Structure 1
Amino acid sequence: MTERVLYLMICGAGPADQVEVAISLAQDRGWSVYCVATPAAVEHFLDLAKVEHLTGHPVRTGYQRQGQAALPRADAVVVAPATYNTINKWAAGTADTYVLTQLAELTGLGVPIAVLPFVNTALAANPVLHRSIDALRASGVRVLFGEDGFRPHPPRTGGSVLADYPWHLALDAVE
């Protein structure tokens, strides 16, 4: 049986602190998980050693160095938790981090991508976010936002909704 490779792109938002839930769910579905993290996720949320232990792979935090093994070809990508910043930069074509560069390439390659945002109601009310979501959807990206996806929470209440973050929806979307 061929290994199914899932890139889990992790942004710096509250659910990143519980990324082991996504890893476990993905592995239970037969995915080999490779985590790629934004600088904010690394700095504020992730225990890299723990994530590497759970996946069996190093967390990629930057561009491939000489002598460093390349990531295997992705069969699917989950971007979760996806921040306001990452969604808007990606949709605008900005590739100023490793994660954004990879997302730009993977979108262009047509790899199945599901995005599970984590934003509050104030950010969700911004028309810029809606334009970005529309642009990503027009590019073939599944953005799980709204009634059948992530539902924004009031500002400063993100910690109270972490246990209900719907990781499974992103995995369902790339199956």
Structure 2
Amino acid sequence: MRVFFLFCFCVISGRLFAQVADTSKLYKDIKAGDSLIFDIGFNTCNLAPYEDIFADDFRFYHDKGGITSGKAAFIQDMQNGICKQENKLDRQLVPHTLKVFPLYNNGVLYGAIENGEHAFFSTEKGKARYQTGVARFTIVWLLVDGKWKATEALSYDHHGV
């Protein structure tokens, strides 16, 4: 039910609210959070920023891997999964696909929805880096005590190139 609500909200929000300009502070803040999750965490396996960027009750929905509930479980999955693979996997944001939609309550900004597309690449010993696939993603961010926290994320529509 929670996923259905989130999905419906994402679809509806795209029609009700305009995305913010890529020059706005909100866009830059969310893109910085995205970089901590992917450029630092996912791509280098430096998971230290995850302790601060994810809410304790973070939920991750993956169309191939199921649901992961909780920040601790998500970090553990990363440590025991992608970070232990022999082949290096990295994620790159597809240019010009990142969109950020603000969430307001009575005119006060309390959150944002980020969505876009990302491409995945693999590096194997003795081989050139190659693209393995592409997918869509959505992340719900809440502003908690002045800091952006990722509360839910969806990674879906995975397919090869």
Category of TM-score, reference length = shorter chain: under 0.3
Higher helix share: 1
**Structure with bigger RCO (C-alpha 8 Å, 6+ apart):** 1
- Give 1 or 2 for the bigger CA radius of gyration: 2
Higher strand share: 2
